Amino acid sequence: MTTVSTKPADVQRAWFVVDAQDLVLGRISTRIATVLMGKHKPSYTPHVDTGDFVVVVNCEKIRLTGKKLDTQKYYRYSGYIGGLKETTAREMLESKPEMVIHEAVRRMLPKNKLARQQIKKLKIYAGGDHPHAAQSPQPFPSYV
């Protein structure tokens, strides 16, 4: 038996759409990260981006369990003294709901150049519409 390593030219990419309404943030983020990495495919190769595209709609209606709306913090740093800014999940959902899912998925990907390539395949929209109808995205797979 020989091990077959997938080449970047051999990768077939699919498009999936996720309706995030009333879904728990952590549970859907792990499934999205798995699809972006390509771990749901039998042709998964760790050093090659074999993942698929994921379109997330209705991200402003995502659910956080427990007290995470008030205790979950998001930090950003300007680079200046005293430039550390802190935002709660409740404030982030009101102002930039796309960033809540983006940060959750980004933190679940590996910390390397490949992850920066994989996160670009994630498209997030606050409303129910998206401009990727031409790619004919399929419903998100339930087996992931």
Q: What are the residues whose beta carbons fall under 8 Å from the beta carbon of 13, sequence distance 6 or more?
A: 51, 52, 53, 121
Structure tokens given for 84 = 């550390």
Q: What is the mean pLDDT of each run of 10 residues along the chain (144 residues)?
A: 88 96 96 96 93 96 96 96 97 96 97 96 95 94 77
Q: What is the CATH number of domain 12-94+102-139?
A: 3.90.1180.10
Spans of all domains in the chain: 12-94+102-139
Please report the pLDDT score of residue 1 as a whole number: 79
- Cβ(58)–Cβ(28) below 8 Å: no
Choose among 116, 127, 95: nearest CA to 37. 116
Please report the pLDDT score of residue 4 as a whole number: 81
Dmax (CA) for the chain in angstroms is: 59
